[in-house]
Amino acid sequence: MNFRELKRLVRQGNPVVHILSNQGDLYLVRIFSEGEQSLLTKKNSSRPLVFRGLPQCYEKLRDAGLRHGFVDQFMAFDQMINNEAGVVLPKDHRPVCF
């Protein structure tokens, strides 16, 4: 979902956004709406939009009309843990306001 589609979705309803922290300083935005989820993508592309800091990410989401969401910080070294049988890994899931 690109930024234009996100703005339209915000006007039509109330999507839930989760900011995914990757490697400590890279952030992706996952959007949940009507039982579906997608990543915020670059304009006219299917590649995810990557933010280099939370302030930049918050500003972009505020520009879309959003005022709150969640930041999901996965535990350290989770990429090295074998996640078999759908085990949910612990994560810091905190609400934030933009």
d(CA 55, CA 3): 17
Mean pLDDT of all residues belonging to the chain = 86
Domain span including residue 9: 3-79+87-97
Q: What is the pLDDT of residues 62-93, one digit of tens each?
A: 999 999 999 998 765 545 455 555 555 556 78
- Reply yes or no on whether the pLDDT at 5 is more than 70: yes
**Number of domains into which the chain is organized:** 1
Structure token pair of residue 23: 């490697």
User: Is the C-alpha dihedral spanning 14, 6, 21, 34 positive or negative?
Assistant: positive
